[in-house]
Amino acid sequence: MKQMTLSALEQIMHTCAGEDESTDSFQQAPERAFADLGYDSLALLETQSVIRREYGVDLSEQALSAAETPQQLVDLVNRWLSAA
Amino acid sequence: MAVGRLTGALALLMPGQSAQYQGMGTGLYRDVPAFARVMDELFLLMGAAGDELRSDWLAASPRVSIDHANRSQPLLFAIDYALGRLLLDWGLRPTVLLGHSIGELAAATLAGVFDLASAVRIVRHRVGQFATVPAGGMAAVAASQAQVQPHLRPGVDIGAVNAPRQTVIAGAVEPLRTTLDALRCAGYTWAPVPATVPFHSELLRPVVVAAGPLLASLPARPPQIPLVSGYTGGYLTDAEARDPGYWASHPVDPVLFWPALTTLAGAGPQLLVECGPGNGLTTLARRLPQVRSGHSEVLALLGPPTDPSREAGQLAAAAARLGASPP
């Protein structure tokens, strides 16, 4: 079964933000708030649409706003994938 | 997360429209007398309009929404400036300033380009003129300027370049709607920016024309603290600082925030401090390679929007990290 990893999420969000350098800050700090990692609500909205497209997971805006860190978002997506 | 003391050259980032939220700064006004003194000085300079602005700002249920330009613009200017003055009073010496939109006027005033009375006249005049602008709006698009440009309908312009893939557009209601529909069809994500005026669109041209004579009549000096211009992306030159046309055209010129931030960050390791409500600019600054790599650091004085009762505590914590001891 397909699952999402922290580095896959970071790759998506890097692309959303238009950054060319890659880092592994999600794995180093999986519980850091998205804002502290440089991602605002627009970046999260775009991440939501990429996740819908690439993983077939349709997160509600409410669910999305409840996920405040990379780990929480990855867990949310993976719970959805496991239940599907 | 590290809570140790931060050092390094101090850069102030002063936010503009979209940073506002109901109650912003009101806790500081109640709990930090030095902040309240500067705010009162500004309200006094605004005359009768200042009294009304102050009471509506402090009201639990304001008559006019904080997103309305005649609330958000003067209050963002005032709070940015008052926080900047507070840092100076604490003995901190910023080495460079960068403001976003109305935040650049606050930065210029802090840098001594305009005296306080002149700056307040500019803000008041501008806000008065907004009433003549057709209703419009703004939206932030998760795409580069080059990606957005082909989808713009007549009457919609680039308002700001906030990040490599964050472009703000502005325009009249109807063409903005069709532009956003086109962007959505093309697969782009966008979100509305809370604004009642299409800032930095051509619709504001009459505001620019009307501000010409006022700006030409006001004394302007070169900045005492270097300023990076959000309109050229480079350091503000003495000639630009003295040019009334430079300041008058801010309402129609796009804000080149990311290019300006890149210029600022290129000056070497520094501490980028958000000097105004919220943490929107520091969130963007966290994407800078210099910040990602740890060579530069960021700090928002007030942090994300919070309950006013917590603002003084937030500011005190920020002061401690800056090694400042508020008197």
Interface predicted TM-score (ipTM): 0.88
pLDDT at residue A84 in the model? 75
Domains of chain B in start order, with CATH, are 9-133+201-321 (3.40.366.10), 136-193 (3.30.70.250)
Q: By mean pLDDT, which of A16-25, B164-173, B199-208, B309-318 is the weakest?
A: A16-25
Taking residue B63's Cβ as centre, other Cβ atoms within 10 Å add up to 10
Contacts 24+ apart (CB under 8 A), B28-31: B28/B302, B28/B308, B28/B311, B28/B312, B28/B315, B29/B58, B30/B308, B31/B311, B31/B312
pLDDT at residue A21 in the model? 67
* Residue A73 contacts residue A9 (beta carbons within 8 Å): yes
User: What whole-number distance in Å separates Cα of residue B64 and Cα of residue B134?
Assistant: 18
* Residue B26 contacts residue B57 (beta carbons within 8 Å): yes
Is residue A55 a part of any domain in this protein?
Answer: yes
- Residues of chain B with C-beta less than 8 angstroms from the C-beta of A16: 142, 165
Tell which of A14, A21, A32, A40 to mutate to test the B interface (max B CBs under 10 Å): A40
Average pLDDT, chain A: 90
What is the interface size between A and B, counted as CB pairs within 8 Å? 53
CB contact under 8 A, B287 and A45: no
Query: Smallest Cβ distance to B164: which of A18, A23, A25?
Result: A18
The domain tally of chain A equals: 1
Indicate if the pLDDT at residue B316 is higher than 50: yes
- Tell me the mean pLDDT in the region B158-186: 97
Average pLDDT, chain B: 95
User: What whole-number distance in Å separates Cα of residue B132 and Cα of residue B138?
Assistant: 17
Q: A57 vs chain B: nearest CA distance in angstroms?
A: 17
pLDDT at residue B98 in the model? 98
Of the pLDDT bands very low, low, confident and very high (cuts 50, 70, 90), residue B42 is very high
pLDDT at residue A2 in the model? 84
Q: B47 — contact with chain A (CB < 8 Å)? A: no
Of the pLDDT bands very low, low, confident and very high (cuts 50, 70, 90), residue A17 is confident
pLDDT at residue B226 in the model? 98
* Helix residue ranges per DSSP H, B111-256: 116-130, 145-148, 173-185, 205-217, 238-242, 244-248
Taking only the tens place, the pLDDT of each residue in B251-266 is: 999 999 999 999 999 9
Our measurement of the distance from residue B110's CA atom to the centroid of its chain's CA atoms, rounded to an integer in Å, reads 13
User: What whole-number distance in Å separates Cα of residue B224 and Cα of residue B229?
Assistant: 14
CA count, 13 A, side-chain hemisphere, B24: 33
User: What whole-number distance in Å separates Cα of residue A32 and Cα of residue A39?
Assistant: 11
List for chain B the helix, strand, coil content (%; round to 5): 45, 15, 40
* Helix residue ranges per DSSP H, chain B: 26-31, 33-45, 48-58, 69-89, 102-110, 116-130, 145-148, 173-185, 205-217, 238-242, 244-248, 257-265, 280-285, 289-292, 311-321
pLDDT at residue B3 in the model? 57
Residue A19, domain CATH? 1.10.1200.10
Tell which of B185, B282, B287, B302 to mutate to test the A interface (max A CBs under 10 Å): B287
Q: A76 vs chain B: nearest CA distance in angstroms?
A: 21
Q: B295 — contact with chain A (CB < 8 Å)? A: no
* Host domain of residue A51: 6-83
Of the pLDDT bands very low, low, confident and very high (cuts 50, 70, 90), residue A65 is confident
DSSP state of B76: H
Of the pLDDT bands very low, low, confident and very high (cuts 50, 70, 90), residue B2 is very low
pLDDT at residue B233 in the model? 98
Q: A34 vs chain B: nearest CA distance in angstroms?
A: 9
- Tell me the mean pLDDT in the region A51-72: 92
Percent of the residues in chain B that have a pLDDT greater than 70, as a whole number: 98
Query: Smallest Cβ distance to B142: which of A16, A35, A36?
Result: A16
pLDDT at residue B1 in the model? 39
CB contact under 8 A, A32 and B1: yes
More confident residue, B140 or B2: B140
Q: B120 vs chain A: nearest CA distance in angstroms?
A: 31
Of the pLDDT bands very low, low, confident and very high (cuts 50, 70, 90), residue A22 is low
Is residue A1 a part of any domain in this protein?
Answer: no
Task: Lay out the sheet containing B297-300: strands in order across.
Answer: B227-228, B96-99, B9-14, B270-274, B297-300
Q: A61 vs chain B: nearest CA distance in angstroms?
A: 12
User: What whole-number distance in Å separates Cα of residue B164 and Cα of residue B176?
Assistant: 21
- Residues of chain B with C-beta less than 8 angstroms from the C-beta of A39: 283
Of the pLDDT bands very low, low, confident and very high (cuts 50, 70, 90), residue B6 is confident
Amino acid at B281: L
Taking only the tens place, the pLDDT of each residue in B243-300 is: 999 999 999 999 999 999 999 999 999 999 999 999 999 999 999 999 988 999 999 9
- Tell me the mean pLDDT in the region A33-61: 93
User: What whole-number distance in Å separates Cα of residue B62 and Cα of residue B55?
Assistant: 8
